[in-house]
């Protein structure tokens, strides 16, 4: 529970940073957003449509596009199983693949300058923040008042639209690893979660527009990096997986039983 609260607090911090950046907006000398100044002797007749807000960082924009696509897929999958009258346990399973994004909140500050990040320290209730950006690599360390330190490393390869993320606590081994990568059909992604009790989960995911496949398996260590050449069946290598294409839903449950039904 403490881990969830920690990440939620950090998520709010990151959100406040982006709101601050967006609030500044482009400066065009206008007294009101979206309006142009009238020239002397002329009546103002045209209103300029405001531009959509942007983070100013291609890495942040990429992460937002990916998570939106992922959320849309998970929502479709949950709705499909609910409509078919399947147990709530499936819904909880699907939610787990969405909740891991909370641990990836540093993606929301990728590309920001150090001064912008450090300026938010007062929001962390005594936490100490260390932030370093070197090219496409960002390292963020946050130490709370109890001395607990979480260090995250984010790397974004813009040409491949490929993002990797790792997290560790108190200088220990990586306990969370995540990455997504653009492909010819959409996205391929994977997550590794080490529970530090001898067990670990490995989530596999492919997104094809509104369709996709999610797989759940165990892992003994951090998986090999994605290549971008994974097929749409990538996630079906897992012991448990669920797929939706159009109105057809297929899968294999935790007991190894095949699932197949059509969305009403």
Instruction: Tell me the pLDDT tens digit for each residue of 151-181.
Output: 999 999 999 999 999 999 998 999 999 999 9
Give the tens place of pLDDT for each residue, 190-210.
999 998 888 899 999 999 999
In a domain, 7, yes or no: yes
pLDDT band of residue 28 (cuts 50, 70, 90) is: very low
50 in a structural domain: no
pLDDT for 95 equals: 82
Phi, psi of 162 (to 5 degrees): -130, 120
**Mean pLDDT of the 80-103 span:** 80
Assigned domain for 181 exists: yes
Read off the pLDDT band of 133 (50, 70, 90).
confident
DSSP H helices, the chain, are: 2-24, 58-83, 88-99, 114-118
Is residue 48 in a domain?
Answer: no
CA distance 181 to 204: 12
Q: Quick one: pLDDT band at residue 88, thresholds 50, 70, 90?
A: low
Dihedral in degrees, nearest 10, Cα atoms 2, 61, 120, 4: 0
The kind and range of the H/E element at 139 are strand 137-143
Q: pLDDT at position 75, please?
A: 92
Report DSSP letters for 145-207, one per residue.
TT--EEEEEEEEEGGGTEEEEEEEETT--EEEEEEEEE-SSSEEEEEEEE-SSS-EEEEEEEE
> Does 23 fall in a domain?
no
Q: Which of 207, 203, 204, 163 is nearest to 185 (CA)?
A: 207
The answer to whether residue 32 is domain-embedded is: no
Query: What is the residue range of 187's domain?
Result: 2-14+56-262
Q: Is residue 28 part of a domain?
A: no
Q: What proportion of the chain, given as a percentage, has pLDDT over 70? A: 73
Residue 126 pLDDT: 63
**Cα angle 98, 104, 106; round to 5:** 150
pLDDT band at 10 (very low <50, low <70, confident <90, very high): very low
Residue 46 inside a domain? The answer is no
Q: In terms of Cα–Cα distance, which of 193, 240, 183 is closest to 219?
A: 193
| More confident: 55 or 179 | 179
5 band by pLDDT with thresholds 50, 70 and 90:
very low
Please give the pLDDT value at position 92: 74
Number of folded domains in the chain? Answer: 1
Q: What's the confidence (pLDDT) of residue 239?
A: 93
């Amino acid at each position: 529970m403490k881990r969830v609260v920690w990440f939620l607090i950090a998520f709010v911090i990151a959100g406040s940073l982006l709101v601050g950046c967006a609030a500044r907006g482009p400066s065009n000398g206008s007294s009101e957003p979206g309006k142009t100044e009238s020239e002397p002797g002329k009546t103002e007749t045209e209103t300029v449509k405001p531009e959509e807000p942007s983070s100013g960082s291609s890495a942040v924009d990429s992460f937002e596009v990916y998570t939106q696509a992922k959320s849309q897929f998970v929502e479709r999958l949950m709705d499909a199983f609910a409509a078919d009258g399947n147990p709530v346990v499936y819904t909880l399973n699907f939610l787990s693949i969405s909740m891991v994004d909370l641990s990836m909140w540093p993606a929301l500050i990728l590309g920001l300058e150090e001064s912008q990040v450090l300026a938010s320290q007062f929001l962390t209730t005594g936490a100490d923040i260390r932030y370093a950006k070197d090219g496409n690599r960002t390292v963020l360390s946050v130490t709370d008042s109890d001395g607990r330190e979480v260090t995250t490393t984010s790397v974004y390869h813009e040409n491949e639209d490929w993002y990797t993320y790792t997290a560790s606590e108190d200088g220990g081994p990586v306990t969370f690893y995540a990455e997504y990568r653009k492909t010819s059909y959409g996205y391929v992604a994977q997550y590794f979660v080490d529970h530090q009790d001898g067990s670990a989960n490995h989530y596999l995911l492919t997104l094809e527009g509104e369709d996709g496949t999610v797989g759940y398996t165990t892992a003994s260590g951090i998986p090999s990096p994605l290549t971008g050449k994974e097929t749409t069946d990538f996630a079906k290598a897992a012991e448990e997986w669920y797929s939706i294409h159009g109105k057809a839903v297929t899968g294999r449950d935790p007991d190894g039983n095949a699932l197949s039904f059509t969305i009403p």
